[in-house]
């Protein structure tokens, strides 16, 4: 039996080898801020060749410059993922320039529309325009991104596709609008279907389901103390997360030697949110507990 000392002598079992992304040709959508930037950052600063895609030109330019100034190999492309022709065009150009793709993070997403916690978010009042916008980006945009990635990866018979789902796609969430809930629920099954489809060609498809993170997705309200207090109150760990707390998982899912038998998984990163409400949310009955 191999012992701990034996593993120390085998370079291929070192973390630096298993999680090595040096030279990995990667694309990250919605990469100019938030979770997308954290994904692009950890890949780029560990040697991957990262193509950042975003629809916000100013933020994209700043993100690319920040990483380039750190010595990373990065480029930026404007892309609205809700436009399938634009996605095809951008992915085609990147794949031709890079000679293929190894890892694609379908991360771009928006949030529009009130949650059912308020009257205007209830189903009979739900804003149809907001619903359509969210579906266009958060569901259709992911489909087009996965499709474009598969067109490159299936012929080369390898690749990693990682989709940003959400705990809102795995459970109900009163603070989220109908468009967001519907899109993320669809994305969860999209990951599983694409994983089944692409497994025959060694293309692995997985999803990350973040819980409450500090990002720009909620717009200006993202910095509202009341909003933060609400989200923190739903998390057993008692706080929202920083995007950097996703980066270890990004390396796991992107590195060619890591997670080689993992596909079709939806991995929550939620501080225990899906486990249940924090213990502090329960009050002790006056009569005590009875078994």
pLDDT in tens, 36-88: 999 999 999 999 999 999 999 999 999 999 999 999 999 999 999 999 999 99
Q: Sheet of 25-29: strands edge to edge?
A: 73-78, 49-54, 25-29, 103-106, 159-164, 203-210, 266-269
- Among 16-25, 99-108, 225-234, 281-290, the range scoring the smallest mean pLDDT is 281-290
pLDDT for res 65: 98
Residue (of 71, 77, 18) closest to 45 by Cα position: 71
Calculate the average pLDDT of the chain. 92
Tell me what pLDDT residue 285 has. 65
| pLDDT at residue 283 is higher than 80 | no
Across the range 146-173, mean pLDDT stands at 97
pLDDT of residue 220: 42
Structure-block tokens of residue 230 = 């609400």
Tens digit of each residue's pLDDT (9 = 90 or more) over 166-203: 999 999 988 899 999 999 999 999 999 999 999 999 99
Could you give the domains of the chain? 22-277 (3.40.50.720)
**Residues 102-131 pLDDT 10s:** 999 999 999 999 999 999 999 999 999 999
Alpha helices in 99-177 (DSSP H): 128-134, 141-156
Q: Enumerate the active-site residues.
A: 180
Residue 31, beta-bridge partner list: none
In tens, the pLDDT along 79-92 reads: 999 999 999 999 99
Q: What is the DSSP string of 240-290?
A: PBPGGGGHHHHHHHH-TTSSTT--S-EEEESTTGGG-S-GGG----TT---
pLDDT for res 2: 46
Residue 218 is predicted with a pLDDT of: 53
Residue 52: closest CA among 107, 111, 97: 107
- Whether 8 shows a pLDDT value over 70: the answer reads no
pLDDT of residue 198: 98
As a whole number of angstroms, the distance between CA 210 and CA 273 comes to 10
């Amino acid at each position: 039996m191999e012992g701990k000392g034996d593993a120390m002598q085998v370079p291929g079992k070192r973390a630096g080898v298993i999680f090595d992304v040096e030279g990995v040709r990667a694309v990250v959508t919605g990469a100019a801020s938030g979770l997308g930037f954290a994904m692009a950052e950890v890949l780029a600063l560990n040697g991957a060749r990262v193509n950042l895609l975003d629809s916000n030109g100013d933020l994209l330019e700043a993100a690319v410059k920040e990483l380039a100034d750190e010595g990373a190999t990065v480029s930026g492309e404007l892309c609205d993922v809700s436009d399938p022709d634009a996605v095809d065009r951008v992915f085609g150009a990147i794949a031709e320039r890079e000679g293929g793709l190894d890892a694609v993070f379908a991360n771009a997403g928006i949030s529009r529309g009130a949650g059912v916690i308020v009257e205007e978010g209830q189903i009979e009042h739900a804003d149809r325009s907001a619903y359509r916008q969210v579906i266009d980006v958060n569901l259709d945009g992911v489909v087009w991104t996965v499709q474009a990635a598969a067109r490159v990866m299936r012929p080369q018979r390898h690749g990693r596709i990682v989709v940003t789902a959400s705990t809102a796609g795995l459970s109900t969430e009163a603070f989220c609008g109908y468009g967001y809930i519907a899109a993320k629920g669809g994305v969860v099954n999209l990951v599983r279907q694409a994983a089944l489809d692409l497994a025959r060609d060694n293309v692995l498809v997985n999803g990350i389901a973040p819980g409450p993170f500090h990002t720009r997705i909620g717009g200006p309200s993202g910095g509202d103390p009341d909003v933060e207090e609400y989200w923190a109150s739903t998390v057993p760990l008692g706080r929202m997360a920083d995007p950097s707390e996703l980066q270890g998982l990004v390396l796991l899912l992107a590195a060619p030697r890591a997670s080689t038998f993992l596909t079709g998984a939806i991995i929550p990163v939620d501080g225990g949110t899906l486990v249940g409400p924090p213990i502090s949310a329960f009050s002790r009955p006056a009569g005590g507990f009875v078994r």
